[in-house]
Amino acid sequence: MRPTFTLGIEEEYQTVDPESRDLRSHIATEMLEQGKLRLEERVKAELHQSVIEVGTRICNNIEEAREDLYDLRRNMIGLADENGLMLVAGATHPFADWRSQEIYPDPRYDQVVADLQLVARANLIFGLHVHVGIEDREAAIRVMNSLRYFLPHILALSTNSPFWLGMDTGYKSYRAKVFENFPRTNLPDSFASYSEFENYVDLLIKTNCIDNAKKLWWDVRPHPFFDTIEVRICDIPMRAEETIAIAGLIQATACKLWNLHSKNLDYRQYSRALLMENKFRAVRYGLDGKLIDFGKQQELPAKDLIREYLVWVDEVLDELGSRKAVEYIHQMLDQGSGADRQLAVFRETGSLPAVVDYMARETKVGLW
């Protein structure tokens, strides 16, 4: 049976003091409770109190997802303003110190900190997660195996975390480097079947590595409770339109791969070791670097390979109703990623608070 290819999008926002431009915790917790009253389950806490997560409803297509996500951003920007805060979409804060940030009071997060200690406390990062509905679990595993190839390209588009603790890290996605300190992160291995994946999860649970499959923090995973595959590799982009474009590309990729599998075709599989080479390049250089075309055994400009990628998914965009959303990626390639734009502001001003102000403005672009 053909999957529904429904969409769900989760974004994690920074709550920032408009005077110091630093992250704020206490008021953000009150803001979270207000958000839950207005938006119910679409607003959630995260490990640190200065992180607020929102999630769309299950959306039938990318335009439904756009409407829901824009509504969430507008509401959260309004709530932040009411509480004397700025809402910022960036995957790291340019200069905030994780050591001064408080953990959200919740038994689940207390356990994460107890297990992972300093690694958990230092995980002051903000991501974008995209769910695509694939109801058949075997089909989901097959699509996930092939989708891994494209994740570095998707990450390069989303890169939005060049700064950490007040320093230019030299990386376009320093968030990815912070997060890989957690266990069970990065690209997963491929699995021959869903039962092989289940056996893996069961062994980890049996041996007290995890208590459920949500603690597989891979860049892509079959969601343990929903009939989706969840792509988790992305930095949160500054602009909502960038999020929608990336979500549309992920959905289109899943659809194209499923079409191939349904015809007993496949996208060529490469080892995790090779794919991780491309992930590092995306993390380090973003859109300005080169990625490896493993078929040609050549390194080529990331932007050129992403343009080829867009041609490859083009045939499914009209049936998904996502042509407008995905075509925005051409503009993203021209204007640069969030990381590129943050760095440009810093080079111009020499001021990290000015970078935060720019990020806050970009977070609002196109919403009204």
For residue 104, what pLDDT is reported? 74
- Is the pTM value of this prediction over 0.85? yes
pLDDT at position 29, please? 65
User: Which string of DSSP letters, residue by residue, matches 240-290?
Assistant: HHHHHHHHHHHHHHHHHHHHHHHTT--PPP--HHHHHHHHHHHHHHGGGSE
Q: Among 38-52, 181-195, 240-254, 308-322, which stretch is predicted with the lowest mean pLDDT? A: 38-52
**CB 281 within 8 Å of CB 291:** yes
Is the pLDDT reported for residue 268 higher than 90?
no
Q: Is the pLDDT of residue 28 over 70?
A: no
Whose CA is closest to 149, among 27, 308, 9? 308
Q: How high does pLDDT run on average in the chain? A: 93
pLDDT tier at 360, thresholds 50, 70, 90: very high
What domains are there in the chain, each with its CATH number?
7-364 (3.30.590.20)
- Of the two residues 43 and 242, the one the predictor is more confident about is 242
For the residues of 30-61, what is the DSSP string, one character each? HHHHHHHHHHGGGEEE-SBTTEEEEE---BSS
Secondary element (H or E) of residue 107: helix 107-116
Query: Over 80: is that where the pLDDT of 302 sits?
Result: yes
**Mean pLDDT lowest for which of 77-91, 101-115, 136-150, 227-241?**
101-115
pLDDT band, very low/low/confident/very high, at 103 (cuts 50, 70, 90): confident
* Residues 107-127: tens digit of each pLDDT: 777 787 888 898 988 889 999
